[in-house]
Structure 1
Amino acid sequence: MNSAKPPLPGLARPWQRIPVDLDDPDIAWVLKLAVSGADGWMLGPQGPLKTQGMTLAEITSGAVHEALLHLLELGLIDVDTDRLRNAHSFPLRRDNQEPAP
Structure 2
Amino acid sequence: MSSTKPPLPTLLANHWQRIPVDLTDPETAWILKLAVSGADGWALGPHGPLHDRGMTLAEITSGAVREALLHLLELGLIDIDTDRLRTAYAFPLRREPEEPRP
TM-score (norm 2): 0.87
Aligned equivalent of 1:7 = 7
Tell me the percent identity. 77
- Secondary structure at 2:61's aligned position in 1? helix
Q: Which amino acid aligns with 1:67?
A: A
Q: Which string of whole-angstrom CA distances, capped at 9 and with x for unpartnered residues, describes residues 3-59 of structure 1? A: 111013332753211000001111000000000000000000100001120000000
Equivalent residue pairs, number: 96
RMSD: 1.4
> Displacement, 1:94?
1.0
Aligned equivalent of 2:58 = 57
Question: Which whole-Å CA distance do the structure 2 matches of 1:9 and 1:37 have between them?
Answer: 32
Comparing 57-66 with 2-11, greater Cα deviation is found at: 2-11
Question: Which whole-Å CA distance do the structure 1 matches of 2:83 and 2:16 have between them?
Answer: 14
Comparing 60-69 with 1-10, greater Cα deviation is found at: 1-10
**Dislocated runs of 4+, deviation >6 Å:** none
CA contact (8 A) 1:47 1:59 kept: yes
Structure 2 gap segments, 5+ residues each: 98-102
More contact order relative to length (CA 8 Å, sep ≥ 6)? 1
TM-score (norm 1): 0.88
Q: Which amino acid aligns with 1:8?
A: L
Question: Which whole-Å CA distance do the structure 1 matches of 2:47 and 2:10 have between them?
Answer: 38
1:1-101 equivalence runs, <5 A: 1-11=1-11, 14-95=15-96
Q: Which amino acid aligns with 2:83?
A: D
CA contact (8 A) 1:9 1:83 kept: no
